[in-house]
């Protein structure tokens, strides 16, 4: 069964901490995405990557960075966590050239206190 695995289901971090969220996919997908999901706002794209070491900003990149050193792994970094970054974070992947069929991970619920 193909999978996108997010390393943590729940995280609690303190304001100002540097936070790493990890995502691994086993489908050899080129595209990987990081979204955050908030009630009433839906899914908002933070960053995405079409290839190793490639990254592009999404709609809300401020306060975040990403790293993609290997094809299967896409990391989201909160440089200095703030309370307004408390959210559900979802990683997804897809094949290059397809306009459908994102596979999502189960999400990481991050609380910043």
Partner 1 sequence: QKEVEQDPGPLSVPEGAIVSLNCTYSNSAFQYFMWYRQYSRKGPELLMYTYSSGNKEDGRFTAQVDKSSKYISLFIRDSQPSDSATYLCATTPYGNKLVFGAGTILRVKS
Is residue 63 a contact point for partner 1 (CB under 8 A)?
A: no
Identify which of residues 56 and 79 has a Cβ nearer to partner 1 in the complex. 56
What are the residues whose beta carbons fall under 8 Å from the beta carbon of 110, sequence distance 6 or more? 11, 12, 13, 19, 21, 78, 81, 85, 86, 87, 88, 89
Backbone angles phi, psi at 102, to 5 degrees: -65, 140
The interface mask with partner 1, positions 36-55, x = CB under 8 A, is ----xxxx-x--x-x-----
- Is 85 in a helix, a strand, or coil? helix
Size of the site for partner 1 (CB under 8 A): 27
The residues of the shown chain that bind partner 1, judged by CB under 8 A, are 4, 31, 33, 40-43, 45, 48, 50, 58, 90, 92, 94, 96-107, 109
């Amino acid at each position: 069964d193909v999978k996108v695995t997010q390393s943590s289901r729940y995280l609690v971090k303190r304001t100002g901490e540097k936070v790493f969220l990890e995502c691994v996919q086993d489908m050899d997908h080129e595209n990987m995405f990081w979204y955050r999901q908030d009630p009433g706002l839906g899914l908002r794209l933070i960053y995405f990557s079409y290839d190793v070491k490639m990254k592009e900003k999404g709609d809300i990149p401020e306060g975040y960075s990403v790293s993609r050193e290997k094809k299967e792994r896409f990391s989201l970094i909160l440089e200095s966590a703030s309370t307004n970054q408390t959210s559900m974070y979802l990683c997804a992947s897809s094949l290059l050239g397809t306009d459908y069929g994102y596979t999502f991970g189960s999400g990481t619920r991050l609380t910043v206190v």
